[in-house]
Structure 1
Amino acid sequence: MKLFRCTHCGQVVYFENTHCEQCHYPLGFETRQQRLVALETREKQRFAQYGQPTAGLYRYCANHTHEVCNWLVPADSTTEFCLACQLNRTIPKLTEPGHIARWQELEKAKHRLVFSLLQLGLPVVSKTESEETGLAFDFLASEQKPEGEKVLTGHDNGLITLNIAEADTVEREMARKAMHEVYRTVLGHFRHEVGHYYWERLIENTPWIEEYRQLFGDEREDYGEALKKHYDQGPPADWAEHYISAYATTHSWEDWAETWAHYLHIMDTLQTAYAFGLSVNPRRATDEQNLDTTISEDPYEVADFSRVLDMWLPLTFAMNSLNRSMGQPDSYPFIIAPDVVRKLDFIHRVCRQAKAEGVKMDG
């Protein structure tokens, strides 16, 4: 995530801010420039960018009224919704207690996901534009289903379903412990599920498929049987030597989705470190430990993934050390084995080629 500043006064602001705490100007995210801009009010809830009175007018996305979105839509647009909110097919039932709060948490994560996809240069197309190849989200609650039925988070041909219980910290922590996971976040769910979507768009029926199978395994293996085997027998004892998570051992598709999510974790966090000009230079570390680094490049602009890892690993050691000093669990409870490095490098190359070639999602 980039570091954003109010374009009126220069105050550092968060991605989700709707106004500047210092100068109180309203703020909105402009997708074409991919930046948060200060706004000057015009008539009938129309806004101009501060200092750019002739550059066109904007209005907030319709979901701004629910305090779930600060993205902008051109004033002459035929849609009420921004690029991120156009992806919503179903939102929570807002008359139910707590649903708006959960939806707000979901939208924070989803908007960050879409920003990362834009940074990667990947096309983001809704199913309203292309039913067959587009992307859509259903945010559902189990209490809206018939008794005994649960909403299962998952992906099906570009439709991502998320149980809104994942937006509740207590519910999510209970699920994490029940599933024996070391890491479970709302943003992680979005990144994992969208990984399935981009597998269909970037890997399936493309020249990448053979290298994919060498690294991740054969996706033609029966998924249902693989899932049953995983839950009956658990992961192999040596899974950490070949996979980023135990769940990644389930099936080739899940290995891809877990590794894809991890790739986005790395890229977004490193971009934040770059935006803050962070360096890691432990005073007592020896040269052999390789814990020194300066985050001197935006990872989205780095062609060689080994350079990304050279910045990433020392940063994670520092992150975990800081958390331990605060009495918190490690923020990065992972070990990246050489086999996983090769998978991450593959994803990096796939994404860079897709950006260079301008991959389309409209058919």
Structure 2
Amino acid sequence: MRQRQLGPFTVSAIGLGCMNLSHAYGVPPSPEQGAQVLLKALDLGCTLFDTAALYGFGANEELVGKVLAPHRSRFTLASKCGMQGVGGKRVIDGRPATLRATCEDSLRRLRTDVIDLYYLHRWDKAVPIEDSVGALADLVKQGKIRAIGLSEVSAATLRRAHAVHPITAVQTEYSLWTRNAEVAVLDACKQLGTAFVAFSPVARGFLTGALRDVATLDAKDIRRAMPRFAPDNYAANLRLLEAFEALAAQAGVTPAQLALAWLLAQGDHIIPIPGTTSLAHLADNLAAADLDLPAEVLARAGELINAGNVVGPRYPAAVQVEIDTEEVPS
């Protein structure tokens, strides 16, 4: 697989987001099925695995640690702190003492002595970003983490953090239907030498074309609370898929591969991390790293689905206030 640079690490151009093996999209797969996905990704050349303390309230780190610890030298390990489960509830807490404690818990669950890339999952706005990043910088000095990342932050916050300690990566949602990164932070990353890790690069399943009826989503699936997946909005968004799927077919690729190829073409510092519970979809996603699609096909994909024609914000209002990412002007 083609490679990209993630700070000091050379990684596969497409990584694996591990969240949905334990979290967020209804009933997760069995640990056995999750293990199959992780090991198959490694076999297919994926060398970036992304987890977090939040996912499954520790269960995802446990899974990743149990399955991949014997292969630790073969991949770059990323996890996150600053948002986790406390007493069964999701809590954002960026205080230095909390970040230190979370790191110790993550190291234990991941069965490793060091986490390669450790993100502040959310900026706790009650704590100066300089204080949270300073605590992570101390973890670097102690050899418990190798590099620092931030998630869902603005260009201004990235620059403040970078002044305290080099920021290796920013992780934010980015895809054909979510273009917030293009407002400012994508360029800021390029200027600072910071990699941009794109989560939900196939739009939480929308760009695969497989999800036609949101009524089939599990009652606990987080997409049920997301405005774009509300029945009326989703029906409008589905109308965008027909031409997109036809374009993919003409190019001889799947819709998911077209979405990932488009994302990779937006900058050499961009690394998508699609997640899946399916071995077939895993192989399909990772194969997109080696595609060479014509520039006009990629440009057309961006014209067919973009911030101007997608209906609905990406997060409900209660979640939107928790993030720091720039908003696309309406």
Higher relative contact order (CA 8 A, sep 6+): 2
Q: Same fold (TM over 0.5)?
A: no
**Into which bin does the TM-score normalised by the smaller protein fall?**
0.3 to 0.5
- Find the structure with the greater CA-based Rg: 1
